[in-house]
Structure formats: structure tokens, C-alpha cells
């Protein structure tokens, strides 16, 4: 039996980041991970492999759409799917090995195997029981099930199966127009698959700024994705998806070679023994925590996808660092008001803070500064001038309340606004900051100018 200061269950972005910070703060730290590789959902079957495929297929799309316009002539490359898969595996492998290196460098012990918590202060891995002053649950999430749908990861797949299909399918139905469904749908649409997205609600990407969502849907349609909106899926048999339109109860069917079920994820805490331990859970399966990540069991903490909040890698990482600081007797904190969300399609979509819909509902007086990428020379040069930057600021104080961007590099641009929001900046603060020309960032500045006396290039 080994004794540690901290044992973390799960080596996803929450768990591994927390472990490194714990070690940096002088705590003797171990991580239990049942997978063969570190990095969790994000590195193995989530953020990273999906971005590799998005990158490869983005280039293919560029060749087809834009190369000729730039005088780059010649035949388009053919797709070697096995090689693309190997590239993806290489990217994943390099990153998971990188975490192993960081664990060694920081002297974090990897306890290999699936862990459980037989008693407060104890973690069991295989036949070994280890003790720790603090235990952190960072066991993440798994795809949620859809009634009437059996996943076989061959014809009916989750995102995990969609990342490793044996061949590029001719057709695909994606159930759910959320981030994961649209990213994977984009990948296959660019590879020539006929992609139809079936969504229960009347708008894609629920919770997103409505104007951005509308523009995004229009652009995706132009890229060849089809949408069936307001459709409640009844059952899936083989590749046959039966649905009922919510507005008129009309029933219909659609058939495809592969069906991707992308209707969300649920916390994964199976096998930990939380019920026997008496850990309080929330109705949606998350571990209940207070604002210091503490469960109701002394010394037991939880973070990441296993607890409430957006299921995002960087939210898990931030919580991982904060809980480490708290365990080490410092002041860990996460500002949940400034957690960006990004969709890595082309164009990218990014947002932070409040949406206009939320501000309206809260009865808050706000102003909108909007700037189209059409007025941004750099965006026009890369054929991505369709989107816009929308900045929301308090009507009286000019303090930035949110930003919503659809356009080139949106996933990076959003951080300028995140930093501004962390510092309680006004739209004028952004507007008065010199931005290099020609950059996409100028569009953010122009949106800030539009909150005041007006944008220059609109
Ligand atoms: P996870 O990453 O789920 O890690 C938990 C780990 O715990 C797993 O490795 C699991 O094996 C291990 N584990 C579980 N139980 C035990 C046990 N009993 N013993 C030992 N080990 C255990 N988020 C973003 O921010 N950006 C993106 O671009 C993005 N893209 C995504 C794309 C896809 C296809 C998917 C599926 C998800 C994506 N996400 C993205 C979400 C992101 O992956 C998660 O929010 C993030 O991984 C959560 O981190 P975590 O540390 O809480 O848990």
C-alpha cells in the first residue's frame, strides 16, 4: 500500500493538468488511468483526433474551392483514408506521449488500471489499495444514449466510432446539431459523404447566439450539409433513421450508410463505488460539489466533465489547476463567466460570456457592436469574409459582457475578448488598443469601435 498526498482518478485534461499542478506545488501525486494512454477523452477520442481530421479535410476543401482562384492549377489530391487515419493517430500518439513525459518530469506516479474508492481516503487499483489525504474524481464523460437507438460502433456510431470508420461512407445521418455532430459532419462532407443532420430543436448549436447560429447554418448548407430541423428521432435500425416532425407530427425516414449519434455526453462515474461511499450525486449523473470542488465526503473532490458546467477540455483543465491550489492550501478559482466555446469548422465559431438572448431575458440594457469580415482585407484574401464579430457591452458602463464570432481564426480571436473581460475592460478599451494590419483581429477592434462612435470599415 502506497501513501500519497493526492490521488487523481482519470488522466483527461482535468486529471492530468491537476496532477502536474499538484506536483509543482510539492504534493506527492498519483494518477489512476485505465486506458493504455494518458490524455482522456480529449486526447484519445475527442478534441485532438477530431481536429486532426478537420485540419486534413480543411486543406482538401481549400484545394477544391479556392486553389484555382489563386492561380494554383493542377488536379486535386486523392484521399488515402488509411494514411489520413495514420496521421491522426500520430498526432494523438505524440500528445499522449508528451503527457507521459510531463508526468516523469514532474514525478507524478501513473497507477495503471481502473480505480475505485472503497473508503474515504483510499483508492483501489487492481488488488492494491493506496491511501491519500485528498482524492480527486476526474473520470470524465461518455456519449449519452438515445432511447430506441443501439450503438454498434459500425453502422450506428458515436463520435468515437466516427473517428475511426474503416472507409469513407457515401452517406451519413448525424443525429444532433451540436458541436461534435457538426464538426464530424463537416469532416465527412468535405470527404464527399452526403451528410444529413437531424436535429430535435429548430436551430443548430443550442445555446449559441441566434444570429451566429443562423449564419453558421447557412454557411454549412452552402458547404453541402443538409438539415432536417425540429425532428424527434423515434428509432434507428441499421442505417435507417425514423423521425417525427415536431410541428405537424409527420413521420418520415432517412437511410444512410452510417448513422452518427451525437446527442450529447453524460458523466462517467461507473465502477468508482460512489453509491456505497454515500457520495451525493445530481439528477443528471454529475457528482455534486461545492464552490471548492468538495463532495460531501471529506477529502474527496471532483472536477471536469464529471461535475456540472460546460463539457469542455479547458474548463476541466482550469478546474484541475484550481482544485490543486485548494488542496495545497492556496486559493484556486475558476471564472465561469469567461469560458470560451469554439467550433473548429471552417469558418470557426467562437463565443464567450452572455448572448443577446440571455441579456434580453435578464432585462439588461446593452449595446451591440457588430463588424462583418467583409470589411476585413485579410479575411477577404482567404475567401472567408462571410462571418462577423459581435461584441456586447453594458449600455451604461460600456463593460464588455460577451462576444460572438463566426469567421477566420475565431477560436483564437475570442481570447482577446476573454482577457479584456477578465480585466473588466470596456468596449472602448478594446477600441483604443492598436491592432496590427492586416489581421483578423482588426475585426474585433472594429466591433468594439461599433459599440461607440462607429466602425471605420463598415
Ligand atoms: P476525460 O477527458 O473524459 O478523461 C477521463 C479519463 O478518466 C478517461 O481517460 C478515462 O479512461 C478515465 N477513467 C474513468 N474512470 C476511471 C476509473 N475508474 N479508473 C481509472 N481511470 C478512469 N472539448 C474542448 O474543449 N474542445 C474540443 O475541441 C473538444 N472536442 C471534442 C470532440 C469530441 C469528438 C469529443 C467526444 C469531445 C470533445 N471535447 C472537446 C470535450 C472534451 O473532450 C471533454 O470536455 C474533456 O475531455 C473532459 O475532460 P475530463 O478530464 O473531465 O475527462
Q: Does domain 4-143+266-328 have CATH number 3.50.50.60?
A: yes
Instruction: Report whether residue 57 contacts ligand 1, using a CB cutoff of 6 Å.
Output: no
258 contacts: CB under 8 Å, gap ≥ 6: 155, 156, 157, 162, 165, 169, 171, 172, 173, 239
| Residue among 212, 174, 209, 133 nearest 373 (CA) | 212
State mean pLDDT over 254-269.
Answer: 97
> Given a cut of 80, is residue 359 above it in pLDDT?
yes
- Which of 59, 292, 415, 437 is catalytic? The answer is 437
Atom of ligand 1 nearest to the CA of 163: 34
Place of cell 482588426: 442
Say what the pLDDT of residue 76 is. 84
Fold match flag (4-143+266-328 vs 156-263): yes
Atom of ligand 1 nearest to the CA of 344: 28
Task: Read off the DSSP letter of residue 292.
Answer: T
Q: Where are the domains of the chain?
A: 4-143+266-328, 156-263, 341-451
State mean pLDDT over 352-380.
Answer: 97
Q: What are 200-219's pLDDT values in tens digits?
A: 999 999 999 999 999 999 99
Say what the pLDDT of residue 148 is. 82
Task: Read off the DSSP letter of residue 376.
Answer: -
Residue 130 appears among annotated catalytic residues: no
Ligand 1 atom 9, closest CA = 40
User: What rounded mean pLDDT belongs to the chain?
Assistant: 97
Say what the pLDDT of residue 458 is. 84
CA pair distance 451, 206, nearest whole angstrom: 26
198 contacts: CB under 8 Å, gap ≥ 6: 173, 174, 175, 176, 228, 231, 233, 241, 243, 254
Share of the chain above pLDDT 70, in %: 100
Say what the pLDDT of residue 432 is. 97
Q: Has this prediction a pTM greater than 0.80?
A: yes
> Given a cut of 90, is residue 259 above it in pLDDT?
yes
> Given a cut of 80, is residue 342 above it in pLDDT?
yes
State mean pLDDT over 165-188.
Answer: 98
State mean pLDDT over 242-267.
Answer: 96
Instruction: Report whether residue 110 contacts ligand 1, using a CB cutoff of 6 Å.
Output: no
Give CATH superfamily name and number for 341-451: FAD/NAD-linked reductase, C-terminal dimerisation domain (3.30.390.30)
Task: Read off the DSSP letter of residue 32.
Answer: E
8 labelled ligand-binding: no
Cis, bond preceding 438 (omega within 30 deg of 0)? yes
What separation in Å is there between the alpha carbon of 305 and the centre of ligand 1? 7
> Given a cut of 80, is residue 1 above it in pLDDT?
no
State mean pLDDT over 116-135.
Answer: 97
Say what the pLDDT of residue 21 is. 98
Extract the runs of DSSP E, i.e. beta strands, from 296-430: 300-302, 341-343, 348-353, 366-372, 388-394, 400-407
Higher pLDDT, 75 or 61: 61
179 labelled ligand-binding: yes
State the pLDDT confidence band at 141, using cuts at 50, 70 and 90: very high
What separation in Å is there between the alpha carbon of 311 and the centre of ligand 1? 9
Q: What is the ipTM of this complex?
A: 0.99
Most informative mutation of 8, 9, 10 for ligand 1 (most atoms within 8 A of CB): 10
Ligand 1 atom 3, closest CA = 140
Instruction: Report whether residue 341 contacts ligand 1, using a CB cutoff of 6 Å.
Output: no
Q: What are 400-417's pLDDT values in tens digits?
A: 999 999 999 999 999 999
In CATH terms, the fold of domain 156-263 is: FAD/NAD(P)-binding domain (3.50.50)
161 labelled ligand-binding: no
> Given a cut of 90, is residue 347 above it in pLDDT?
yes
Amino acid at each position: 500500500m502506497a501513501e500519497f498526498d493526492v490521488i487523481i482518478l482519470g488522466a483527461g485534461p482535468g486529471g492530468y493538468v491537476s496532477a502536474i499542478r499538484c506536483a509543482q506545488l510539492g504534493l506527492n501525486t498519483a494518477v489512476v488511468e485505465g486506458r493504455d494512454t494518458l490524455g482522456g477523452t480529449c486526447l484519445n477520442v475527442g478534441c485532438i483526433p477530431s481536429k486532426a481530421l478537420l485540419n486534413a479535410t480543411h486543406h482538401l476543401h481549400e484545394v477544391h474551392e479556392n486553389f484555382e482562384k489563386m492561380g494554383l492549377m493542377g488536379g486535386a489530391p486523392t484521399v488515402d483514408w488509411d494514411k489520413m487515419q495514420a496521421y491522426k493517430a500520430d498526432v494523438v500518439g505524440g500528445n499522449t506521449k508528451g503527457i507521459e513525459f510531463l508526468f516523469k518530469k514532474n514525478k507524478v506516479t501513473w497507477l495503471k488500471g481502473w480505480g475505485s474508492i472503497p473508503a474515504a481516503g483510499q483508492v483501489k487499483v487492481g488488488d492494491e489499495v493506496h491511501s491519500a489525504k485528498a482524492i480527486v474524481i476526474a473520470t470524465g464523460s461518455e456519449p449519452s444514449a438515445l432511447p430506441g437507438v443501439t450503438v454498434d460502433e459500425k453502422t450506428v456510431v458515436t463520435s468515437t466510432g466516427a473517428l475511426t470508420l474503416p472507409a469513407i461512407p457515401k452517406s451519413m445521418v448525424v443525429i444532433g446539431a451540436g458541436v461534435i455532430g457538426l464538426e464530424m459532419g463537416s469532416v465527412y462532407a468535405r470527404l464527399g459523404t452526403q451528410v444529413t443532420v437531424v436535429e430535435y430543436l429548430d436551430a443548430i448549436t443550442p445555446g449559441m447566439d441566434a444570429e451566429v447560429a443562423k449564419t453558421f447554418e447557412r454557411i454549412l448548407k452552402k458547404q453541402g450539409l443538409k438539415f432536417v430541423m425540429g425532428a424527434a428521432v423515434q428509432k434507428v435500425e441499421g442505417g435507417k433513421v425514423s423521425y417525427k416532425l415536431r410541428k405537424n407530427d409527420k413521420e418520415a425516414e432517412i437511410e444512410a450508410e452510417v448513422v452518427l449519434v451525437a446527442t450529447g455526453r453524460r458523466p462517467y462515474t461507473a465502477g468508482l463505488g460512489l453509491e456505497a461511499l454515500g457520495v451525493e450525486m445530481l439528477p443528471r449523473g454529475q457528482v455534486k460539489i461545492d464552490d471548492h470542488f468538495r463532495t460531501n465526503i471529506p477529502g474527496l473532490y471532483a472536477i471536469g466533465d464529471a461535475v456540472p458546467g460546460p463539457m469542455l477540455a479547458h474548463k476541466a483543465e482550469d478546474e484541475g489547476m484550481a482544485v490543486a491550489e485548494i488542496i495545497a492550501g492556496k486559493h484556486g478559482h475558476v471564472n465561469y463567466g469567461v469560458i470560451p466555446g469554439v467550433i473548429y469548422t471552417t469558418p470557426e465559431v467562437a463565443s464567450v460570456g452572455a448572448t443577446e438572448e440571455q441579456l434580453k431575458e435578464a432585462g439588461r440594457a446593452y449595446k451591440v457592436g457588430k463588424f462583418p469580415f467583409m470589411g476585413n482585407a485579410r479575411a477577404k484574401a482567404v475567401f472567408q469574409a462571410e462571418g462577423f464579430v459581435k461584441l456586447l457591452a453594458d449600455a451604461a458602463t460600456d463593460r464588455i459582457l460577451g462576444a460572438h464570432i463566426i469567421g477566420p481564426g475565431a477560436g483564437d480571436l475570442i481570447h482577446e475578448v476573454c482577457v479584456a473581460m477578465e480585466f473588466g475592460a470596456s468596449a472602448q478599451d478594446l477600441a483604443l488598443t492598436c491592432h496590427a494590419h492586416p489581421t483578423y483581429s482588426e475585426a474585433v477592434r472594429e466591433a468594439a469601435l461599433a459599440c461607440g462612435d462607429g466602425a471605420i470599415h463598415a
